[in-house]
């Protein structure tokens, strides 16, 4: 507080803006006030108002958002102080109250402005965070979609692989089925062939019945006795030619067969001459077959002489049986069974 006795030198030091008489008048008034002051220098209400106004003025936000209200508070405070100096405590306290309330209005207005600024900042920040959250959600969704696509792709690959396996298995099954069919057909063919061969064999058997053909382990065998040859000669008797003709006819019927002509004798005479005789007789027979149109390569000739007798050589009947020519029929493949 400016004390009354300090006012005079202060006023005297002030720049000479106001006329001198005016300054002197104010000084005189101050002197008068100072001379007869009975009032205390200040008042709690005024001091409270002053500190409230000073606090409000120190608020940086107040100057920005409540400048007019701050000025009114300061004016009210100045008026309160002036009234106090004019010894009007009632009016001074009234204006001090107004100053204090206006200071409070300044503080509230400044607080509101500050809060509103923070509110704007927070709203902006909230939008930013929301955007961030949305961005993250979008990224998350994208990653999930990517993962799902990868799973779908893997599943499709598995499905394709499974399909390929199934296809392969089906091909294998199909091949196996074809093999089975082939095998069945083969078996059927073999059965048919076997049946055919059996039928052919049976037919040969029937065809050779007239020639007294016998069924042996080596196949069909027709035996021609020595009655068809002149004694000790290889010349065929006329009756033999009919037999030869019938044999040739059978061989025409069974073109797949070959014949082995085997010549045998009894044990009369040397072994060597018997061998030669059997050879000549077998060849004479073969010659006769060729004469009836049987191809030469279908005829084999084998001489055994007195080997493999079929009867006792000690009797005339036995020796007659041993003098013979065997016609052995091959199988359907032209192969003779080994003796």
Q: Which residues bind another protein (CB under 8 A)?
A: 91, 94, 97-98, 101-102, 104-105, 108-109, 111-112, 115-116, 118-119, 122-123, 125-126, 129-130, 132-133, 136, 140, 143-144, 146-147, 151
Nearest to another protein of 112, 223 (CB atom): 112
**Min separation Cβ 101 and another protein, Å:** 4
Given a contact cutoff of 8 angstroms between Cβ atoms, the answer to whether 256 and 333 are in contact is yes
Given a contact cutoff of 8 angstroms between Cβ atoms, the answer to whether 1 and 42 are in contact is yes
Question: Counting runs of H as helices and runs of E as strands, what totals does the chain give?
Answer: 9, 5
**Min separation Cβ 39 and another protein, Å:** 20
Provide φ and ψ at 67, rounded to 5°: -65, -45
DSSP-based three-state secondary structure for 131: helix
DSSP code at position 58: H
**Min separation Cβ 38 and another protein, Å:** 23
Nearest to another protein of 118, 184 (CB atom): 118
The residue behind tokens 């300061």 is 74
**Min separation Cβ 36 and another protein, Å:** 25
Strand bridging mode 219-225 / 259-264: unpaired
Nearest to another protein of 96, 208 (CB atom): 96
Nearest to another protein of 122, 169 (CB atom): 122
Short-list 60, 101, 59, CA closest to 77: 101
**Min separation Cβ 159 and another protein, Å:** 18
Short-list 220, 193, 195, CA closest to 205: 220
Nearest to another protein of 145, 202 (CB atom): 145
């Amino acid at each position: 507080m400016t004390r009354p006795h300090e006012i005079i030198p202060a006023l005297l030091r002030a720049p000479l803006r106001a006329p001198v008489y005016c300054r002197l008048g104010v000084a005189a008034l101050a002197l008068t006030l100072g001379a007869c002051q009975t009032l205390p220098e200040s008042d709690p209400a005024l001091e409270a108002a002053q500190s409230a106004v000073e606090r409000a003025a120190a608020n940086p936000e107040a100057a920005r958002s409540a400048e007019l209200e701050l000025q009114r508070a300061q004016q009210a405070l100045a008026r309160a102080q002036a009234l106090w100096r004019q010894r009007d405590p009632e009016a001074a306290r009234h204006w001090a109250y107004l100053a204090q309330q206006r200071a409070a209005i300044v503080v509230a207005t400044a607080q509101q402005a500050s809060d509103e600024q923070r509110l704007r900042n927070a709203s902006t920040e909230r939008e930013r965070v929301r955007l961030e959250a949305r961005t993250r959600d979008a990224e998350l969704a994208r990653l999930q979609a990517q993962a799902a696509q990868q799973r779908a792709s893997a599943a499709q690959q598995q499905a394709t692989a499974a399909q390929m396996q199934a296809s392969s298995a089906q091909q294998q099954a199909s091949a196996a089925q074809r093999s089975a069919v082939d095998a069945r057909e083969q078996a059927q063919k073999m059965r048919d062939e076997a049946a055919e061969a059996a039928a052919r064999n049976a037919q040969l058997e029937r065809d050779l019945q007239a020639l007294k053909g016998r069924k042996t382990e080596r196949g069909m065998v027709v035996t021609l006795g020595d009655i068809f040859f002149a004694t000790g000669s290889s010349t065929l008797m006329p009756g033999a030619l009919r037999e030869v003709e019938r044999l040739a006819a059978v061989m025409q019927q069974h073109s797949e067969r070959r014949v082995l002509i085997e010549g045998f004798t009894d044990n009369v005479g040397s072994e060597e001459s018997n061998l030669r005789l059997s050879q000549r007789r077998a060849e004479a027979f073969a010659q006769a077959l060729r004469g009836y149109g049987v191809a030469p390569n279908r005829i084999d000739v084998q001489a055994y002489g007195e080997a493999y007798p079929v009867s006792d050589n000690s009797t005339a009947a036995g020796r007659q049986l041993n003098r013979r020519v065997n016609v052995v029929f091959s199988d359907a493949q032209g192969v003779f069974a080994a003796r």
